[in-house]
Structure 1
Amino acid sequence: MAYDVHQLLAMSQTELDDLFRASPAGDIPDGGAEGTAIIAPGTKYTHSIASIINHFGWQGKVFDAQKGSLKNKVLPFGIEAVVARVYKDDSWFDGKECIVLDYSDTSVLAHYIRDEIRLIGPGFYLGKVYWGKERLIDFCLQF
């Protein structure tokens, strides 16, 4: 099944977790992706929160697959900042392979952040954000 951002924003946390669990890691992406934060999934607030974050905080990520790195697009102008290492490893969520976005050695600001992504459709990834080992939110990336 092909997914879009609006479908993901309408899903419950359980549905997002099941989709992540059922999806392959896919290839490490390359190039720019539009990002959408998924907070309070399946509630009437999800779309509004995603829109606010997208306009003022985080717009997505720019991957360099050859270097195994990425930069986040942040602030209203989409400044490329907050670098992460990118590699495949076992997911903290379910122990299966995922693509890890690791900020521990590359960012003072996001030192405790780890993202995990999996491919849910052509050029479309679902991700989970961790602070330390605690899962915070979900997000998606569209290439």
Structure 2
Amino acid sequence: MAYDVAQLLTMSQKALDDLFTASPPGDIPNGQAKGTAIIAPGTVYSQDIAEVINLFGWQGKVFDAERGLLKNSITLFHVQAIIARVYKGASWLDGKECIVLDYSETSVVAHYVRDEIRLIGPGFYLGKVYWKKDRLIDFCLQF
């Protein structure tokens, strides 16, 4: 089944988790991805929250697969900042392989943040955000 952002925003947290656990890690992506935060999944507020965050806060990520790094695109001016190391590793959600976006050694601001992504369609990844070991939100990336 092919997914799109609108569908992900209407899915429950359990459905998002099930999709993530059923998906392969895929290849470490390269290039710029449009990001969408998935907060309050499955509620009428999810779309509005995603639009506000995308406009003022976080627009996506720019991957450099060769160097194993990424930068986040943030603020109204699409500043590329907040660097993470990118590698494959075991997911904290289910222990299976995923692509890890690790900020622990590259960012003072996001030192305790870890993202995990898996491929859910061509050029389309679903992600989980952790603060320390606590799950925060989901997100998706479109290349």
- The one-letter code matched in structure 1 to 2:89 is D
1:38-97 per-residue CA deviation (whole Å, 9 max, x = no partner) reads 000000100000000000000000000000000000001111000000000000000000
Deviation of the 1:109 alpha carbon: 0.2
Deviation of the 1:131 alpha carbon: 0.1
- The one-letter code matched in structure 1 to 2:84 is A
Matches within 5 A, 1:20-31: 20-31=20-31
Q: Return the TM-score normalized by structure 1.
A: 1.00
User: Which structure 2 segments of 5+ residues have no match?
Assistant: none
Matches within 5 A, 1:71-82: 71-82=71-82
The answer to whether 1:69 aligns with 2:78 is no
The CA distance in 1 between the partners of 2:130 and 2:36, in whole Å, is 16
Q: Which residue of 1 aligns with 2:90?
A: 90
The CA distance in 1 between the partners of 2:46 and 2:40, in whole Å, is 5
Q: Which residue of 1 aligns with 2:10?
A: 10
- The one-letter code matched in structure 2 to 1:22 is A
Q: Return the TM-score normalized by structure 2.
A: 1.00
Q: Which residue of 2 aligns with 1:53?
A: 53
- The one-letter code matched in structure 2 to 1:35 is G
Q: Which residue of 2 aligns with 1:128?
A: 128
The answer to whether 1:106 aligns with 2:72 is no
> Runs in 1 of length 4+ with deviation above 6 angstroms?
none
Deviation of the 1:28 alpha carbon: 0.1
| DSSP-derived class of the 1:17 partner | helix
- The one-letter code matched in structure 2 to 1:94 is D
RMSD (Å) for aligned C-alpha atoms: 0.3
The CA distance in 2 between the partners of 1:30 and 1:18, in whole Å, is 26
- The one-letter code matched in structure 1 to 2:114 is R
| DSSP-derived class of the 2:16 partner | helix
The CA distance in 2 between the partners of 1:96 and 1:41, in whole Å, is 23
The CA distance in 1 between the partners of 2:124 and 2:55, in whole Å, is 20
